[in-house]
Structure 1
Amino acid sequence: MSFERTLEKLTILADAAKYDVSCSSSGSKRTNTNKGLGDSSGMGICHSYTEDGRCVSLLKILLTNHCIFDCAYCVTRKSNDIQRAAFKIQEVVDLTIDFYRRNYIEGLFLSSGIFKSPDYTMERLIAVAKKLRTEENFNGYIHLKSIPGASDELMREAGLYADRLSVNIEVPTISGLKLLAPDKKHEDFIKPMLKVKNEIIQYGEERKIIKSTPKYAPAGQSTQMIIGATGESDKDIMYSATHYYKNYNMKRVYYSGYVPVAEDSRLPAIGTQVPMLRENRLYQTDWLLRFYGFGVRELLNNDHPNLDIDIDPKLSWALRNLQQFPVDINKAEKQILARIPGIGMKSVPKIISARRFRKLNWEHLKNIGVALNRAKYFIVCDSSHWERRDMDANIIKGRILQNSVGKFRKEYGSQLSLFN
């Protein structure tokens, strides 16, 4: 096949893959010990920056954008009038190796439209990963998108070659899925998720006894929800995410704002796009649930079904629960410190360690990295020059927003003036 045709396929199928955001990874340590190609470290593979500032990337493509389904929200839906293409198995293998040797990528994220049947599609995805591992001796990162409805046998085999597996739940609620993807069944998404979860547990237990037991999906599994295609509230979305974290041991749930791709009466109008800030608030909420000890009902409930767009979810919770503040920074336990706006999880152990030697004041907290423009309304410490406690939630919110805008203008005003 000509280079021009391969390039044309790559253009089409890489562009179609951009709607899938669940391509980051962490936790996989596939060390190169057999003089093979590549080495998947635990720092993660994605189009972003690692903690040490290193930019990492992967080849992110679809095997094909042909699909037997007609999901309203999907650009590859069978009724959509788009240019279609499909890679052969060996073409994907060759592209991955060629790109790796040119130092373009550090791994592969491979998804696909569903053609012929879920099992047929999943077999071809696995064949790519198997060839890379067994024939090319490739030790780099591989993320395979699991196909809803694929058999248990194929899901088991996929985890032996891939670092991470993911089944996109696509729509947060069953009712939303029925509306926008009536050809699909909710259980077709759940079955492979459950299989992967059980295999990870089983292989993990066996490795404790038999060290030669192969690794199974060492970076775990993830899923993705499309936000804004149907009318789910933020509460519906995060309750659903919590369910998948708890019951299927998800490493990550990703939230992808709906991008209008076709005219359909069931969908938001063309030109109506989900604000990026809503995605950001959902990720912040997800972070609070996973690392800060919050329960989902504390942040979202019937009285507060949607997140505040103008302030982050921890500040929003604190303003609704002012009776729990102020907190004495020199006495509070770790769990309480983590709930104070302006104090992150990196600052918490620093505060606990530092206060063993002396009582902390505003200056100490500032040096530790606490964002005092928010935290000062919710804490007391070894300082008394700012101890006003007569402000209600609306006043505090207004002052924080005003200070944030003022700080932004002070730091970036000169740059912004260049574009006026």
Structure 2
Amino acid sequence: MNEAVLEKLKILAESAKYDVSCASSGTSRRNTSSGIGSATGWGICHSFAEDGRCISLLKIMLTNHCIYDCAYCINRRSNDLKRATFSVTELVNLTIEFYRRNYIEGLFLSSGVVRNPDYTMERLVRVAKELRLNHRYNGYIHLKSIPGASRELINEAGLYADRLSVNIEIPNEQSLQLLAPDKNFQSVFTPMRYIRQGILENLEDRKKFRKVPRFAPAGQSTQMIIGASPDQDKDILHLSSALYQRPTLKRVYYSGFVPVNEYDPRLPALKQPPLVRENRLYQADWLMRFYHFKAEEIANEAYPDLDLEIDPKLAWALRHPEKFPVDINKADYEMILRVPGIGVKSAKLILVSRRYGKLGSQQLQKMGIVLKKARYFITCQELPYQTIQEIHPDQVRKILTNKNTGRKREDPRQLKLQFEDD
């Protein structure tokens, strides 16, 4: 690698780090005898596979030049920072050389908008096309679709990329136009619709014909910035819930606003990213996707913002003591899922195990249930604890949030995800 390419790599990798929507799933592109790379397995970009492997990708921008002046973006045109642009050939060669040295297993490629959306999108497509056709690269490719790009370019991108994504960025159109005056919801949702139509049409074609190239087999994702606008959590979750109704959207990512620019009166004066809020939104998102919760159950007019002190499932349970206690030996799967401290795997294990006898506290503990939470919301064969019916919800909350438990105090700014046990 020559010094010029190395300098571009430093600049454009730094510019790409604020985009968090780079995990992959759902693709099964396998290697061939004449190709290199494989996109099988779970996530990429320092995600972990089921067997514990850390899988990485080259997370890079084609260019950090941009014609837009979005208040929240480090690469906005009014910022005085080092700019760089890869040629298509440079980026293709860089990806192949990194793969051959076992540095990466995939590519996450985004870009600032130069000239116009179609010009930028065409260059992104050329990178993916050359990797697939000229180098027979079969590894994972995630392309960021440019808002405002034409349908023809989106359709071509889907033939070479495993996943396509378009970032919504700001969950409210009025706030988006204030912070990013060159963008609007139509320019964002139109390419999202093109991607969805392309995936659905491809699925129908694959039912009729034996050999049809797959179109974006890992679906699409999007990202919202949290804390850059005054939007409440209920609005964010309702938008996410509506997006998940679309069959091709795999993930909504939430990125705590990072104050990377000089103070702008349109932006809040935050000293640090709202990581705890970001964490709670991911937990709420998990509840909607895997725990059968509706958005209005988690956040609504009465509770417009998520409780930062406790996880969303526990907050819901404390607001609805009339739903508890749940009899573990009799309740249905949906109700067991709503018990704090019981995850999806544990709930399924309960259903299977209780066929062979009544379950007690010891069996539940062996299943991985967090009894310090669950004991206030369940009954079983021999559980000797008082439930939320005997103890007021406020008292349960006080017990579960007691800081003086003898454990090392955790830094509340750190992001900690524990979906399975929440």
Correspondence for 1:395: 395
Give the Cα–Cα distance (whole angstroms) in 2 for the partners of residues 244 and 268 of structure 1.
27
Give the Cα–Cα distance (whole angstroms) in 2 for the partners of residues 405 and 37 of structure 1.
55
CA positional deviation for 1:400: 1.2
Which residue identity does 1:108 align to in structure 2?
Answer: L
The change in CA–CA distance for 1:405 and 1:246 in structure 2 (over 3 A counts) is farther
Correspondence for 1:11: 10
The answer to whether the 8 A contact 1:380-1:387 is kept is no
Which residue identity does 1:135 align to in structure 2?
Answer: N
The C-alpha deviation readout for 1:215-261, integer Å capped at 9, x for no partner, is 00000000000110011111111111112221463100000011112
Which residue identity does 2:96 align to in structure 1?
Answer: I
Correspondence for 1:135: 134
Q: Note the aligned Cα RMSD (angstroms).
A: 1.6
Query: How many residues of Structure 1 are paired with residues of Structure 2 in the alignment?
Result: 409
Q: Confirm whether residue 331 of structure 1 aligns to residue 307 of structure 2.
A: no
The C-alpha deviation readout for 1:115-169, integer Å capped at 9, x for no partner, is 0000000000000000000000000000000000000000000000000000000
Correspondence for 1:71: 70
**Identity across matched positions, percent:** 55
**Matches of residues 12-91 of structure 1 in structure 2 within 5 Å?**
12-91=11-90
The C-alpha deviation readout for 1:358-396, integer Å capped at 9, x for no partner, is 111111100111100000000000015223532111100
Correspondence for 1:231: 230
1:214 counterpart SS class: coil
CA positional deviation for 1:277: 1.2
The answer to whether the 8 A contact 2:376-2:385 is kept is no
2:253 counterpart SS class: strand
1:244 counterpart SS class: helix
Correspondence for 2:268: 268
Give the Cα–Cα distance (whole angstroms) in 2 for the partners of residues 216 and 34 of structure 1.
22
The answer to whether the 8 A contact 1:45-1:57 is kept is yes
Give the Cα–Cα distance (whole angstroms) in 1 for the partners of residues 346 and 305 of structure 2.
28
Query: 1 or 2, which has the higher helix percentage?
Result: 1
Give the Cα–Cα distance (whole angstroms) in 2 for the partners of residues 126 and 280 of structure 1.
33
Correspondence for 1:104: 103
The answer to whether the 8 A contact 1:89-1:124 is kept is yes
Correspondence for 2:147: 148
Which residue identity does 2:151 align to in structure 1?
Answer: D
Q: Confirm whether residue 204 of structure 1 aligns to residue 206 of structure 2.
A: no
Flag structure 2 segments of 5+ consecutive residues without an equivalent: 411-422
2:42 counterpart SS class: coil
The change in CA–CA distance for 1:204 and 1:42 in structure 2 (over 3 A counts) is farther
Give the Cα–Cα distance (whole angstroms) in 2 for the partners of residues 98 and 32 of structure 1.
17
2:401 counterpart SS class: helix
Correspondence for 2:183: 184
Which residue identity does 1:74 align to in structure 2?
Answer: C
Correspondence for 2:169: 170
Flag structure 1 segments of 5+ consecutive residues without an equivalent: 412-420
**Matches of residues 234-383 of structure 1 in structure 2 within 5 Å?**
234-247=233-246, 249-262=248-261, 263-269=263-269, 271-383=270-382
Query: Given the two structures, how large is their TM-score scaled by the length of structure 2?
Result: 0.94
The answer to whether the 8 A contact 1:292-1:339 is kept is yes
1:113 counterpart SS class: coil
The answer to whether the 8 A contact 1:169-1:225 is kept is yes
CA positional deviation for 1:410: 10
1:346 counterpart SS class: helix
The answer to whether the 8 A contact 1:27-1:44 is kept is no
The C-alpha deviation readout for 1:167-195, integer Å capped at 9, x for no partner, is 00010111110110111121010110000
Give the Cα–Cα distance (whole angstroms) in 2 for the partners of residues 407 and 28 of structure 1.
45
Give the Cα–Cα distance (whole angstroms) in 1 for the partners of residues 198 and 47 of structure 2.
30
The answer to whether the 8 A contact 1:169-1:189 is kept is yes
Which residue identity does 2:169 align to in structure 1?
Answer: E
The answer to whether the 8 A contact 1:173-1:240 is kept is no
4+ long deviations beyond 4 Å:
none
